[in-house]
C-alpha cells in the first residue's frame, strides 16, 4: 500500500511539474518552437541514455527508479532551478551587481542546479536503500537525472535559437549543446552519484556526509567552469572545451569503463563464498563476473530452453549480481535483519532459477561457463 501511495504521489508531482514547464515553454517560445526544440533536444538522448544503460548491465537497477531519476531530472529539477535562478538574477540586478547574468550563471546556477539534480539520488538512497549498492548505481541514477535535466534545458535554448535566428541558429545551438557537450550535465551530477555511492558503503555518518558534500562540491565546481567558458564568447568556449572539457570527458568515459569492470571483479570475489558453500559452482562464478560470458549464457539458455530458459537465466544472473553486491555492503556496513532476509530471498531465487536452467539430469558440460 505504501509503495502504491508513493508511486501515486510521484506521478502527481511529475504531472504538475510537466504542466508548469509546458506553460513556461508556451509563453517563452510558442508551441511551434517548443515542439521543434523538444524534438532536437531528444537527439542527444539517443547517445547519453544508452551509455548509462550499458553501464547498468551487471546488476540492472529497477526500471521504476531509473525512470524516477530521469523524470526528476527532466521535470522537477528544471522547474525548481528555473524559479530559483530567475529569483537570484532579479535580486542581483536589484542590488546593482555588475554583469548580473554572468555572476548568476557562473556562481549561483551551478549551486542550484546540482543541488536539485543531486536530490534525486539522495531520495533513492533514503527511501530505496537496498537499490543503491555502490558507485555504479550512483553513477547510473546521477547520469540519468543529468540527462533528463539537459533535455529540458535544451528545449529552452534550442527553442530560443529557433525564434531568434531561425534554422541556422537552432543548428548552432544543437552543435554546441547536443554534439559538443551532451554529457555535460550527466558528468557534473555523476560526481554527486559517486559521492552517494561511496557513502552507501560507509558506517560512519560523518564519512557519509563528507563524501556526499565532496561530490556536490566537485559537481558545482565543474559546472561553474563550464558556465564560465560559455559566458566568455565562442573563442574562449572552444579553447576551454578543447583543453579542459575534451580531456575531462575522455577521462570520464574511461572511468565509466573502469568502474563497470571493477563491478564484475567485485561480483566474482563476493560470489566465491557461495560457491564454496555449494550454492554455485566456480565455473558459474566465472561466468557471472564476465559480461561476454553472461551474454553467451543467455544465448545458451534461450537456445536450450526458449523464452522460459532466457527468463530463468536473466533472473539467475540478476539475483546473483544483487547477492554479491549485497554481501559486499553487509561486510562494509554490517548485516542487519533486513539484509539477512534479502540474502535469503536472493538465494531462494537463485536456487529456483538454477533448477530451471540446470536440472539434475543435465550434464555439467552442458552448462555455460563449464
CA distances from 86 to 91, 101, 108, 112 (A): 9, 10, 11, 11
Residue that the C-alpha cell 580531456 belongs to: 247
Q: Please state, in angstroms and rounded to a whole number, the distance separating the CA atoms of residues 342 and 330.
A: 11
pLDDT at 301: 95
Q: What angle do CA 177, 187, 149 make, to 5 degrees?
A: 60
pLDDT at 365: 41
Q: Please state, in angstroms and rounded to a whole number, the distance separating the CA atoms of residues 66 and 20.
A: 23
The residue length of the chain stands at 370
Kindly tell me if the per-residue pLDDT of 335 is higher than 80.
no
* Residue 105 confidence class, pLDDT cut points 50, 70, 90: very high
Task: Convert the pLDDT of each residue in 24-34 to its tens digit.
Answer: 999 999 999 99
Q: Which of 351, 290, 318, 345 is nearest to 133 (CA)?
A: 318
pLDDT at 361: 54
Report the percent of the chain where pLDDT is more than 90: 79
Q: Please state, in angstroms and rounded to a whole number, the distance separating the CA atoms of residues 35 and 31.
A: 6
Q: Which three cell numbers stand for residue 304?
A: 536450450
More confident position, 262 or 334: 262
pLDDT at 240: 81
Average pLDDT over residues 214-223: 97
Q: Which three cell numbers stand for residue 119?
A: 536530490
* Residue 130 confidence class, pLDDT cut points 50, 70, 90: confident
How would you label 337-357 residue by residue, b for 16+ Cβ within 10 Å and e otherwise?
eebeebbeebbebbeebbebb
Q: Please state, in angstroms and rounded to a whole number, the distance separating the CA atoms of residues 20 and 127.
A: 26
Q: Please state, in angstroms and rounded to a whole number, the distance separating the CA atoms of residues 218 and 220.
A: 5
H helices of 131-232, in order, are 135-173, 184-199, 205-230
Q: Please state, in angstroms and rounded to a whole number, the distance separating the CA atoms of residues 154 and 168.
A: 16
Task: Convert the pLDDT of each residue in 281-298 to its tens digit.
Answer: 999 999 999 999 999 999
Rounded to two decimals, the pTM is: 0.92
Amino acid at each position: 500500500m505504501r509503495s502504491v501511495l508513493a508511486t501515486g504521489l510521484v506521478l502527481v508531482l511529475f504531472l504538475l511539474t510537466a504542466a508548469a514547464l509546458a506553460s513556461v515553454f508556451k509563453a517563452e517560445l510558442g508551441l511551434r518552437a517548443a515542439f521543434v526544440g523538444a524534438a532536437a533536444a531528444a537527439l542527444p538522448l539517443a547517445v547519453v541514455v544508452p551509455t548509462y544503460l550499458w553501464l547498468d548491465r551487471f546488476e540492472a537497477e529497477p526500471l521504476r527508479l531509473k525512470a524516477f531519476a530521469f523524470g526528476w531530472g527532466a521535470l522537477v529539477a528544471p522547474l525548481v532551478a528555473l524559479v530559483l535562478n530567475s529569483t537570484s538574477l532579479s535580486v542581483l540586478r536589484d542590488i546593482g551587481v555588475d554583469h548580473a547574468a554572468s555572476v548568476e550563471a557562473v556562481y549561483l546556477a551551478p549551486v542550484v542546479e546540482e543541488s536539485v539534480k543531486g536530490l534525486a539520488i539522495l531520495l533513492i538512497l533514503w527511501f530505496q536503500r537496498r537499490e543503491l549498492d555502490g558507485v555504479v548505481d550512483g553513477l547510473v541514477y546521477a547520469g540519468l537525472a543529468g540527462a533528463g535535466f539537459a533535455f529540458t534545458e535544451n528545449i529552452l535554448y534550442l527553442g530560443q535559437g529557433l525564434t531568434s535566428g531561425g534554422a541556422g541558429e537552432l543548428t548552432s545551438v544543437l552543435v554546441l549543446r547536443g554534439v559538443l557537450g551532451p554529457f555535460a550535465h550527466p558528468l557534473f551530477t555523476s560526481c554527486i552519484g559517486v559521492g552517494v555511492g561511496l557513502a552507501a558503503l560507509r558506517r560512519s555518518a560523518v564519512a557519509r556526509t563528507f563524501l556526499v558534500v565532496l561530490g556536490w562540491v566537485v559537481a558545482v565546481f565543474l559546472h561553474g567552469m563550464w558556465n564560465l567558458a560559455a559566458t566568455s564568447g565562442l573563442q574562449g568556449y572552444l579553447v576551454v572545451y578543447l583543453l579542459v572539457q575534451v580531456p575531462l570527458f575522455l577521462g570520464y568515459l574511461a572511468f565509466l569503463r573502469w568502474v563497470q569492470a571493477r563491478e564484475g571483479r567485485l561480483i566474482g570475489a563476493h560470489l566465491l563464498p557461495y560457491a564454496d558453500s555449494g550454492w554455485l559452482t566456480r565455473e558459474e562464478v566465472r561466468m557471472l563476473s564476465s559480461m561476454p560470458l553472461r551474454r553467451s549464457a543467455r544465448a545458451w539458455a534461450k537456445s536450450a530452453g526458449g523464452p522460459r530458459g532466457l527468463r530463468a537465466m536473466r533472473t539467475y544472473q540478476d539475483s546473483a549480481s544483487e547477492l554479491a553486491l549485497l554481501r559486499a555492503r553487509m561486510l562494509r556496513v554490517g548485516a542487519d535483519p533486513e539484509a539477512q532476509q534479502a540474502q535469503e530471498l536472493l538465494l531462494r531465487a537463485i536456487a529456483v532459477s538454477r533448477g530451471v536452467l540446470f536440472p539434475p539430469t543435465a550434464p555439467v558440460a552442458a552448462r555455460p561457463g563449464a
